[in-house]
Amino acid sequence: MRKLTGPIVLFAAASAYAAPASDIHIPFEHYKLQNGLRVVLSRDTAVPVIALYMIYDVGARSEEKGRTGFAHLFEHMMFEGSANIKKGEHFKYVQANGGTMDGSTHPDYTDYFETMPSNKLALALWLESDRMRGLAITPENLRNQQEAVKQEKRLSFDNQAYNTAIIDKWPALAYGNFQSSHSLIGSFEDLEAAGVDDVSKFFRTYYAPNNAVLVIAGDFETAEAKRMVEQYFGNIPSQPQPKRPDMTEPVRTEGRTETVLDQHARVPAIVIGWPAPTRHSPEFYALGMLDAVLTSGQSCRLQLDLVKGKQSVIQYQANPGWPFEGLNDFKDPGEYAAFVLYKANYKPQEIVDQIQAEMDRIAKDGVDEKELNRVKAVLRLQKVTSLQSSLERARLLGQFELLDGKPEMVDQDFTSLFAVTSTQIQAVAKKYLTAARHDVLVIQPAPPQQKEGAR
């Protein structure tokens, strides 16, 4: 058991370019129940609120062939009721007590949270434990959520510009291993083929206490929180530890390019990405800071050079792990990718060349100290501001515990990122962000006749 005590310490100032890197400390305590449930407690009495964050070690990359979409289907199933909670009541209990809640599916995990007034911790624990203990998996509930997922795919992806290309085409282009290359949502055929027995097996395998992390952050008394965690979760039986898939990528010596037509797009777009360094390596943090140089704040390079300068780019998004994850929350292998909307009078290759030129300039010249200090100040303020939220602290502690077995990475990660030097940024650009390594997905608006035919 590891115990850390003391107040949360956060220092940030937009002008403090020379501020020390080690200016964050999130106190926590973590331990494990007899059934294998890992628990992380982070007490902060500044606001009478608690965030309860439950993260399960199962995501889209855990799925088998013929069973795609199960991780996302289960995010929906977890709100269908359980042993003592009827369908729809989870929402009612939380909202009637002044709280918020949600869940999300990722390649490497699925998570759920409640934020509640601090005197409602017992209610939040009961809600989460009841569905871990006995989810209501019935033919009716399964059918309802199969249809809900399909409808979500139609509305949020198939009928939205760019989204189908991003969620279906980009992973297949960027990765060669099935575990990483298949769609996060899954296929209609696999969802339709799922039966109650299949879903029950998935639940027993992955939604067990020994495959999960529970985090409580905010205003609570530690001894009382421990007592309630044991009361609600302690007698839920563990299950055999699931076998982890092999996510090794086949060796590639050059990138790939593919073009897709999108009937909903009105302006063209590209996705460009490079295989990322190993998680938590010095190169990994150098890439994170390089991304900030390119994209963080109104004075970042992509904004100044391509949006305002060449006026070729309309809008962009980029980060390690894009589009499904961020710097802190993906397992290896990962990608550094950017999504760029650009003006139609430019050819796709021109935009690709402009983006690659930004990488090549950093590889050749590095980043001067004045620019790096400005970027660090902007990024520091963003990160420290986000950590004022109990939920954000809970998320980070849970993700680092689940993915690394080290919740203390919440401090170390911050320190490692802000210790990055210009020399390291230049080196990671030279090694990883080369033209030979990039994959490119071109998304073009479909010609008018194809749009009409599709309608």
User: Do 133 and 236 form a contact (C-beta atoms < 8 A)?
Assistant: yes
Residues 205 and 298 reside in one and the same domain: no
In a domain, 250, yes or no: no
In a domain, 28, yes or no: no
In a domain, 416, yes or no: yes
Q: What is the value of pTM for the model shown?
A: 0.91
Q: For the chain, give the percent of residues with pLDDT over 90.
A: 83
Q: How confident is the model at residue 156 (pLDDT cuts 50, 70, 90)?
A: confident
Q: What is the pLDDT of residue 20?
A: 45
Whether residue 10 is predicted with pLDDT greater than 90 in this model: the reply is no
Residues 126 and 174 reside in one and the same domain: yes
Q: What is the pLDDT of residue 44?
A: 96
Whether residue 448 is predicted with pLDDT greater than 80 in this model: the reply is no
Whether residue 12 is predicted with pLDDT greater than 90 in this model: the reply is no
Residues 204 and 282 reside in one and the same domain: no
Q: What is the pLDDT of residue 1?
A: 35
Q: What is the pLDDT of residue 94?
A: 97
Whether residue 371 is predicted with pLDDT greater than 80 in this model: the reply is yes
Whether residue 455 is predicted with pLDDT greater than 70 in this model: the reply is no
Residues 134 and 266 reside in one and the same domain: no
Whether residue 452 is predicted with pLDDT greater than 50 in this model: the reply is no
Question: Tokens 């894009």 sit at which residue?
Answer: 322
Pseudo-torsion of CA 376, 381, 382, 388, nearest 10°?
Answer: 140
In a domain, 244, yes or no: no
CA 160/CA 153 separation, integer angstroms: 10
Mean pLDDT (whole number) for 303-329: 93
Whether residue 9 is predicted with pLDDT greater than 90 in this model: the reply is no
Last residue of a domain, one of 177, 200, 233: 233
Residues 316 and 430 reside in one and the same domain: yes
CATH number at residue 135: 3.30.830.10
Residues 223 and 288 reside in one and the same domain: no
Q: For the chain, give the percent of residues with pLDDT over 70.
A: 93
Whether residue 453 is predicted with pLDDT greater than 80 in this model: the reply is no
Whether residue 253 is predicted with pLDDT greater than 90 in this model: the reply is no
Residues 215 and 264 reside in one and the same domain: no
pLDDT digits (tens, 9 = 90+) for 211-232: 999 999 999 999 999 999 999 9
pLDDT digits (tens, 9 = 90+) for 90-112: 999 999 999 999 999 999 999 99
In a domain, 127, yes or no: yes
In a domain, 7, yes or no: no
Whether residue 38 is predicted with pLDDT greater than 60 in this model: the reply is yes
Mean pLDDT (whole number) for 327-354: 94
Residues 294 and 179 reside in one and the same domain: no
Output the average pLDDT for the chain: 91
Whether residue 163 is predicted with pLDDT greater than 80 in this model: the reply is yes
Strands (E), 106-211: 110-117
Q: What is the pLDDT of residue 23?
A: 66
DSSP 246: -
Residues 265 and 337 reside in one and the same domain: yes
Q: What is the pLDDT of residue 377?
A: 94
Number of domains in the chain: 2
CA 36/CA 237 separation, integer angstroms: 9
Whether residue 5 is predicted with pLDDT greater than 80 in this model: the reply is no
Residues 208 and 274 reside in one and the same domain: no
Whether residue 64 is predicted with pLDDT greater than 60 in this model: the reply is yes
Q: Which residues of 338-374 are buried (b: 16+ CB within 10 A; e: fewer)?
A: bbbbbeeeeebeebbebbbebbbebbeebbeeeebeb
Residues 323 and 431 reside in one and the same domain: yes
Q: Which two tokens stand for residue 266?
A: 């009105």
Whether residue 18 is predicted with pLDDT greater than 50 in this model: the reply is no
Last residue of a domain, one of 233, 267, 292: 233
**Of 3-7, 117-121, 346-350, 423-427, minimum mean pLDDT range:** 3-7
**Of 147-161, 371-385, 396-410, minimum mean pLDDT range:** 147-161
In a domain, 220, yes or no: yes
Residue 103's domain comprises: 33-233
Last residue of a domain, one of 184, 199, 233: 233
CA 36, 42, 47, 48 torsion-angle sign: positive
Residues 203 and 280 reside in one and the same domain: no
In a domain, 145, yes or no: yes
DSSP 157: I
pLDDT digits (tens, 9 = 90+) for 381-430: 999 999 999 999 999 999 999 999 999 999 999 999 999 999 999 999 99
Q: What is the pLDDT of residue 150?
A: 87
Q: What is the pLDDT of residue 325?
A: 80
Q: What is the pLDDT of residue 357?
A: 98
103 residue type, one letter: G
Is residue 202 packed enough to be buried (19+ CB in 10 Å), middle (13-18) or exposed (0-12)? buried
